[in-house]
Structure 1
Amino acid sequence: MANRGLWRAPHLPLFLLASVWAMLVPLIWLAPDLVCDPVAWHRQELISGVAGAAMGGYLLTALPHWISQSGRGDAVSDHGPLATQLLVLAWGLGRVLGAPCTPDAWALAGLCLYPVGLAAALVRPIIAARAWGRLPMALAPLLLVLIAVRLRLAADGLTAVLGIALLVALVGGRILPAFLRARAGGATTGRIRVPVAGRAADLTLALALAAHLAGLGPRLAGALMLLAALEQGLRLVGWPLAKGLRGGQSDLAVLVVAWLWLPAGLALTGMALRSDAGLPLPAALHALTMGLMGSMVLAVMARAWMRRVPGALRLGWLPGLAFALVQLAVLLRLALTDPALATLCWSSGWALASFAASAALCHPVPRPVLSARRQRGPTGAAENGPAAGIRSSR
């Protein structure tokens, strides 16, 4: 029983919470009288609740790999089940205290408890290991604090959406091309370097967020988002898509599909801000929340549930159907004014994901958690993905 149980790896409870909460939160539209402000609660919980839990599962799973690269693997020896339990408790308190009718002071305290705790859990071992290059990623959960404050005090959904889009661009824009290069047979060791074009694309997206926060007007923010959409789309030109996806690499295909929602969502939202499209802004934002955030969260989490073969992962019918239902839900939300059908489709997909996350509790933790097992290439060197060294902390 040593390799069974909820707390033996951080991703197990956090991925389960993200899946279950993603399934439940949109159902508020079927019974909107359950909370005093269903719109505010819906967008808050999808970002702070769902994205927050998924972010914690990913970052805590990646942490041992970061430390091992620094040569100080003992620096994470104090991160065990108790730390994960405390983070899950903080996440739960955020869901209770962050209710719309709770006083703002209590709500913000609850909503900020989990991201601050997660950042602390990441920063402490990284400083101990002197892995300074990983410090920005360790501080990334603090972006959820900014989002929580803007959502709660200013009902600013655009900041929340742009913040999540920037986070996906920074993380996904690094790990996805590295996964593709690894599967294409390229070099996979060392730090992931981002080309100048990729850095420029991320900078433009950050400027769009800054322009919005500075109150420079929706047309400027929209123009920057349109430019960012073009730049983020052009990043795919430098990725080895043909070689990386050959042979039916379904685990990478869903990541690529999820990534495509970034330029698509930025373009739709930018046009809506500039009044250049007939699509209303709330609908356009769903391309970045349901489309980008939902798809990327599911595509990354599903890697922990996939069947492993040497050098590759197999998506399987359950995560594959869950991902397809999420894509259908996004398209329905963009095409229809009534969200009921999209809600049922989305929640059905996440119900399947919740089942997969629950089933993972009954199986040994795969090692590495988020990547395929190593295999030997023609030269005898180990061929790994960028997360091949990512292992459970227990």
Structure 2
Amino acid sequence: MALPSAQHPNSASRAAPVRLDLSTPATELTAALVDLESVSGNEAAITDAVETALRRYPSLSVQRLGNVVVARTELGRSERVVLAGHLDTVPIAGNLPSTVVDGRLFGCGASDMKSGVALQLRAAHLVGSGALEPAVDLTWFFYDCEEIEAERNGLRRVAAEHPELLRADLAILLEATNGVVEGGCQGTMRAVVSLTGRRAHSARSWLGVNAIHLAAPVLRRLADYAPAVVDVEGLTYREGLNAVAISGGVAGNVIPDGCQITVNYRFAPDKSEAEAERQLRTVFDGFAVEIVDSAPAARPGLDQPLVRRAVAAFGGQVEAKLGWTDVARFSGLGIPALNFSPGDPNLAHRADESVDLALVERSERALLEFLTAQPA
């Protein structure tokens, strides 16, 4: 398939990219990626490095779309698998450069998700160099701005502008899962519940209506809410509905006439976004509710033969993904998608973020086993 023309901003004005040697072990490659600072919005250098490394393999078709790199094989296989991972991290917290202590690599992005990106790049090297003969065609996505607002997400942009590039029989997101398969993902929805009072001088409070006080029944509904535990394709998803922010107040001597409570609803993949919104509006019936952000859930797709092959190669253990990931973008296109990576999701975004180097090695072997596994 012909790829769209490149959209490579300011490439001539940037310094020569750092060289990534994809022939090095995945553990060393992880360290090299971690040491390339790439806080969201500042991914140009790491994207340059990834693009340059992949262009060394003539058998790979490589395209740059902003700060997204797409690479593809065209081997004529009957099935295509996507390997996707984001290049950005949360802000550093004194945790660069990387260090190794007791078999763990510490550094910003080690778990979320540069150890997963290292596995993507290792597979690209082995396939591109001819050292690995995959049983499937492959598409790699390396994208920017996953850790910040959804409208800046590089994979979202590609899905909107070039959805044909996402077409596949299975997508694997190399998001942190601690070496087990996590199926699908929760959906997420943020809403603002607004309370309206009447402003007055606090010395004559009976002349006003305190909007902050009106928030009490909303908070009570949240405290009394029993989140659902939902089984989807044999996986258990735990929902959650929580206040995540509250604001209100005018001055120290004014009865406030406005209060806003921001709530976050994490819903299981048995619900559409429309159904999740109805659930929110039912909980807060009688109050003004505005939906300010929403992303769909993704079903696991465990009944698909290619998915079963992947699960078997990855150790056979499958858990529900408790959180939202970009697998939902593929699921929305009817493509089954899994999360799999050596990173530990419980360490993501922490100052002591780290990854088990032995698990990086095992996860690489499992991924390569799957890519070479022939259909039964």
Tell me the TM-score normalised to structure 1 length: 0.26
* Greater share of residues in strand: 2
Greater share of helix: 1
